[in-house]
Amino acid sequence: MNAAPVPSPLASVREVRVGSSNEPKIAAVRGALLAYAPDARVAGVVVTSGVSEQPVGLGEIVRGARNRALRAGESERCDLAVGIEDGLIELPSGESGAGPGHVNIGCAAVSDGKRISLGFSSGFAYPPACSRRAVGARAPVGALFDRLWQERRGQAPPLPSVPGLGNVGRLTLGVLPRAEYARHAVLCALVAFLHPDLYESPETS
């Protein structure tokens, strides 16, 4: 006999703001909340991340996600505010399979105005020609990836990386699109709100 489903602590959530106008990020939040707050209205808000256009290092990635969540929550009244930031982190020397290298990870920050919780996506490696330039010049890796695609494949990509499948979607041949990749990070960030009795220390500073 199956146990009765546990009511979601997020069932009363109605208004959710995402600190971005990027549609895959908004879709990621909408998809993550579907099981817990099916009546939530999710909308994007244009805010600044407070970090470089190409974040490098875990600290900068987390800071960008937190800033987006907090600023989205301040700009419009809402029950939850979410920030999502991707960036590159360096692997220890020798762990990338070919010397030092970088992988992309995404961070999601969720805030209710009292506490903020973080979650992370899985990681994937860009072609080294992209990641090296992105880190060295702090150039947006999406544009670099589009350029590399055109140079190596002799044709422009079907859609630019950001509004389309995303870099991870193109590299996985469409199996893991950008919105799904980010949804995992949002789900992991929601854990503290799904179990508030186990995560007792609100922190938004």
Q: Give the 3-state secondary structure of residue 134.
A: helix
Residue of higher predicted confidence among 63 and 203? 63
- Residue 205 pLDDT > 60, yes or no? no
Please give the share of the chain, as a percent, with pLDDT higher than 90: 70
Q: Give the 3-state secondary structure of residue 113.
A: coil
- How many alpha carbons lie under 13 Å from residue 77 in its C-beta half-sphere? 0
Is pTM beyond 0.85? Reply is yes
CATH class of 15-126+174-194: alpha beta
pLDDT of residue 4: 44
Q: Please report, for the chain, the start and end positions of each structural domain, with discontinuous segments joined by +.
A: 15-126+174-194
**pLDDT confidence band for 201 (50 / 70 / 90):** low
How far apart CA 92 and CA 100 sit, in angstroms, is 6
pLDDT per residue over 51-93, tens digit each?
999 999 999 999 999 999 999 999 889 999 999 999 999 988 6
- Residue 3 pLDDT > 80, yes or no? no
